């Protein structure tokens, strides 16, 4: 997901899309694609709107894996952007990762472990959640609780035990009956939760919420110093 404006990371995003802002002398999205490659992913689609030409140039330069770009003339938000490319996945479950997700270690088995946990019969969405108490470098937000049966339950007042990392596996049926156009992915999360089909994977490594320039400085100091 690379179409957003990255407003809170300004001025770094005044002339650079947030996924291309550098952390440790590499664009944030480089690390994401490395994780996906390590997990065996061979086809990646990035959406683009803000400064889309830079995303297109990045995709062309990344020749070690197949990267296509879905350019949104009008920004479609976090749900509509996915729905626009849903046919590319040919009915199979698929990963979604926000273009600013940053987790370590770099040899992380997060994606492999989530793939092992995935159950297409029981789940519509499986989300990776980070314990708020483990977030010492950047500010954690209590987006979710994890129930005893492994289901994720959203905390409307943000007092949950875990933060949503944006890393998730989706079954394409979550788009059944959904009209095209701009809408929030949160609507799909809430529906899956209501249906009892939203499950959580508790991440054991470090995941950092890079939202502001101060966050970026803190992460570089913690990870690369």
pLDDT in tens, 34-78: 999 999 998 899 999 999 999 999 999 988 888 999 999 999 999
Is the predicted pLDDT of residue 32 greater than 90, yes or no?
yes
pLDDT in tens, 120-170: 999 999 999 999 999 999 999 999 999 999 999 999 999 999 999 999 999
Based on C-alpha coordinates, what's the Rg of the chain?
17
pLDDT in tens, 190-224: 999 999 999 999 999 899 999 999 999 999 999 99
pLDDT (0 to 100) of residue 66: 87
pLDDT in tens, 170-184: 999 999 989 889 999
The reply to whether the predicted model has a pTM over 0.85 is: yes
Is the predicted pLDDT of residue 88 greater than 90, yes or no?
no
Domains and CATH numbers, the chain: 7-224 (3.90.550.10)
């Amino acid at each position: 997901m690379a179409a957003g404006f990255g407003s809170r990371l300004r001025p770094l995003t005044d002339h650079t899309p947030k996924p291309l802002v550098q952390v440790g002398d590499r664009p944030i999205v480089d690390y994401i694609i490395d994780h996906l490659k390590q997990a065996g992913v061979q086809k990646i689609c990035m959406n683009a709107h803000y400064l889309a030409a830079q995303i297109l140039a990045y995709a062309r330069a990344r020749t070690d894996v197949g990267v296509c770009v879905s350019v949104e003339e009008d920004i479609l938000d976090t749900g509509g952007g996915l729905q626009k490319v849903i046919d590319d996945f040919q009915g199979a479950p698929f990963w979604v990762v926000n273009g600013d997700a940053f987790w370590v270690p770099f040899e992380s088995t997060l994606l492999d472990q989530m793939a092992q946990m995935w159950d297409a019969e029981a789940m519509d969405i499986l989300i990776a959640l980070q314990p708020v108490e483990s977030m010492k470098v950047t500010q954690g937000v209590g987006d979710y609780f994890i129930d005893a049966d492994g289901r994720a339950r959203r905390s409307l007042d943000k007092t949950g035990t875990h933060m949503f990392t944006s890393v998730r596996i989706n079954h394409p049926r979550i788009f059944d009956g959904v009209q095209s156009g701009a809408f929030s992915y949160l609507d799909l999360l809430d529906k899956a939760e209501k249906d009892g089909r939203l499950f959580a994977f508790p991440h054991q490594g470090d995941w950092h919420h890079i939202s502001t320039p101060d966050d970026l400085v803190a992460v570089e100091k913690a990870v690369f110093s």
